[in-house]
Amino acid sequence: MNRRDYLLRKFGLSMVTIFVVVIINFLLFRVLPGDPVRAVVGRNVRISAQTQQALREQFGLDKPVFPDQFFDTLGQWAQGNLGVSWSLRRPVSEVLMSKLWNTVLLIGLGQLLSIIFGVILGLLAGWKRKTAIDVGALTFSLIAWAIPTFWLGIILLAAGSTWFGLPTGGIVSPINVGKPLYTVIPDVARHLILPTFTLTILYLGEYMLIMRSSILEVLSEDYILTAKAKGMSHWQVLWKHALKNAMLPIVTLIALNLGFTVSGAIYIETVFSYDGLGKLFQTALTKQDYPLLQGAFLLLAVSVIIANMAADVLYAVLDPRVKES
C-alpha cells in the first residue's frame, strides 16, 4: 500500500468516526433528564408556563426526537450550519471560534513549554540515573503530577497577584477588552503568565516521567553499547541514537494531549476566569443547550481525530518500520 492510499483510508475512517460521534451526541444529550427550556430560563420568576411552551416550540422540542428533530438537525449540519445557541442566542460556530483561539493560545503555550522542559528534564534524569539530578527531577515530577490542578492554580494566583502584581483573571485587562489581541500583546502576556505556568508544571511531570523511562530503556539496548564501543561520546550517543528512539512514546502522549486541547483545561480556565472552551462546555451542559453541546462535541471529536492522524503520520516519519508495515 502506498502512502496516498494509506492516508485516504485513514481519512475515510475518520469521516465514519465523525458521523458516528454526531449520531451518538445527538442521542446522548436528549437522554439527559430535565427540560432544556427550564435549564435555559432557570428558576425564573419572569417566565410563565405559556411562554416556556412558546420557546419549546421555537426550539423544535415539541416535535418527536426521531425522525423530526434528528433530520432537522442533520439537514442543518449538511448545509454547514451548526445552529443558534439557545442560551447565548448567538450562532454556535461564532461562539466556538471565539473561544477556540483563546484555548489554543493558552493550552498550546503550556503544552509546548511542558514538552520542552519535560523532555529535557527526563533526558537528564535518565542519563544521570541514580544521581542527585535524577532523584530531584523524579521527586519534582511526581509531586507536580499529583498536585490537584485547582489547588496549585489558586496558590499561584494568590502568590503571583500579591507579590508580583500579576492579574487575577481574564485574558486582557477590562480596559483592553474588545481590541484585537495582537494590539495589546504586553497585557495579554501578563495575563497568560500564571495560567501558563500552572499548566506547564502540571503537564511537565507526565512528560518527564515518560521520557525518563523511555530513555532508560533505550540506553540499555545493544546498539547503544555498540555506539559506545565505537568510541562515540556520551553526547553523540544520546543525541544521535538514544533521543530519536526514545521520542516515540512522547509523540503518542503529545498527540493524545493535543487532541484534547480543545476540550480546554476546565480547572485552569475556572481558576483564572479564562474565557476558553472548557468553561463553554460546562455552561452548555448545565444549560442543556443542545445546539451548542452538539457543536462543541463535534469540534472536540474532529480535533482528537486530526491529532491522531497527525500522530500516525509522524510515527511513519520517525519510525521507518511503521511505514513498511
Partner 1 sequence: MKRNLLYVLVLVTLLLSACGGGTAPTATSATEAPASGISDATLKIGWIGKPDTLNPAYAFLTESYTIFDLIYSTLVTESADGTYVGMLAKDWSVSEDGLTWTYHLKDGIQWHNGEPFTAGQLAWAINAIMKDPDGWAASANYTGGFKEVTAPDDKTLVIVTEYPIANMDYRTSFLYAVYPPDFETFTTSEDLQNFTNFNAIGTGPFKLNTFDKDTGVLLLGANPAYFDGAPKIGGVIFQTFDNTDAMIQALKVGDIDLVNEVPASAFETVKGFENVTASAIDGRYFNELIINSVDPNNDPAPTGNPALADPAVRLAIAHSINKQDIVEVVAQGLATPGDTIVPPTLGGGFWHSPNIKEIPFDTAEAGRVLEDAGYVLGSDGVRAKGDLRLEFRLQFPSDSAVYPRIADLMAGWFAQAGMKATPEAVDPDALVAATTPAGDYDLVLWGWGPDPDPDFILSVMTTDQFVDGGWSDSGYHNPEYDQLYLDQQQIVDKAERQKVVWKMQEMVFNDRPYIVMYYEKMLQAYRSDRFTGFIESPLGIESAQSLLSVTAVK
46 or 130: CB nearest partner 1: 46
Closest CA to 303 of 268, 264, 274, 273: 264
Q: Min. distance of Cβ 44 from partner 1 in angstroms?
A: 5
| Cα 166 from chain centroid (whole Å) | 25
Helix (H) or strand (E) holding 100: helix 92-127
Least Å distance, CB 149 to partner 1, is: 12
Query: CB-wise, 33 or 320, nearer to partner 1?
Result: 33
Cβ nearer to partner 1, comparing 267 with 297: 267
Residue whose C-alpha is closest to residue 259's, from 292, 298, 202, 300: 300
Q: Write the burial class of residue 47 (CB in 10 Å: 0-12 exposed, 13-18 middle, 19+ buried).
A: middle
For partner 1, the closer of residues 247 and 311 by Cβ is 247
Half-sphere exposure of 252 (CA within 13 A, CB side): 8
| Torsion angle defined by CA atoms of residues 229, 232, 233 and 238, in that order, rounded to the nearest 10 degrees | -90
Nearer to partner 1 (CB atom), residue 257 or residue 282: 282
Smallest separation, CB 150 to partner 1 (Å): 8
Q: Which is nearer to partner 1, 117 or 145 (CB)?
A: 117
Closest approach of partner 1 to the CB of residue 41, in Å = 5
All three cell numbers of 33: 433528564
What cell was used for 206?
Answer: 507526565
Contact 300, 308 (CB under 8 A): no
Smallest separation, CB 73 to partner 1 (Å): 17
Interacting residues with partner 1 (CB under 8 A): 32-35, 37-49, 51-55, 58, 84, 87-90, 95, 98-99, 116, 154, 157-158, 161-162, 164-171, 173-175, 177-178, 185-187, 189-190, 193, 233, 235-236, 239, 269-275, 279, 288
Q: How far is the CB of 93 from partner 1 (least distance, A)?
A: 14
Which residue, 54 or 143, is less far from partner 1 as judged by CB?
54
In 3D space, the residue among 202, 311, 197 whose CA is nearest the CA of residue 253 turns out to be 311
* Burial grade of 301 (CB within 10 A; 0-12, 13-18, 19 or more): buried
3-state SS class at 84 = strand
Amino acid letter, residue 18? I
Instruction: State which residue, 52 or 76, has the beta carbon closest to partner 1.
Output: 52
Could you tell me the smallest distance in angstroms from the CB atom of residue 141 to partner 1?
Answer: 18
Name residues whose C-beta falls within 8 Å of residue 51's C-beta, 6 or more positions apart in sequence. Answer: none
Neighbours of 229 (CB within 10 A): 8
Question: Minimal distance in Å, beta carbon 324 to partner 1?
Answer: 31
**Residue 20: CB minimum distance to partner 1, A:** 27
11 vs 164 by CB, closer to partner 1: 164
Give whole-number Cα distances, 290 to 9, 11, 31, 32, 276, in Å.
32, 28, 11, 11, 19
